[in-house]
Amino acid sequence: MKLHMVFVLGMHLQLGLSLSSNDPNVCSYWESFTTAMKESYAHPYTQTSKESCDGTWSFFKTCDQPKIIYKTAYRQGVKVDYRRRYHCCQGY
């Protein structure tokens, strides 16, 4: 049974490889597929720094001032793309 399935699968693969887009009995369609890719993005994080406080009487006083900084980080993304596939038209 396994040998039979391998033979049938092999015939379908060979048939798909031998189709010509110029043949009038060959039809085509667009197939979508996804691929994994690495993409970059701006990753925010908070950094505190010592700065002088606002106000007239706080010249010698320092306060923690939060500052948002962005760094480039990477993550796994998914890209959708399309390819043309060929098959025998109905009835051929």
Instruction: Parse the chain into domains and list their residue ranges.
Output: 2-88
- State phi, psi for 59 to the nearest 5 degrees: -65, -40
Residues 56 and 12: beta-carbon distance below 8 Å: no
The contacts found for 21-25 with CB under 8 angstroms, 24 or more apart, are: 21/86, 25/88, 25/89, 25/92
pLDDT of the residue at 47: 78
Going residue by residue through the chain (92 aa), what tens digit of pLDDT does each one get? 565 555 555 555 554 457 888 888 899 999 999 999 999 999 998 877 666 666 555 556 667 778 888 999 999 999 999 999 999 998 88
pLDDT of the residue at 78: 93
| Closest of 73, 49, 72, 75 to residue 62, by C-alpha | 49
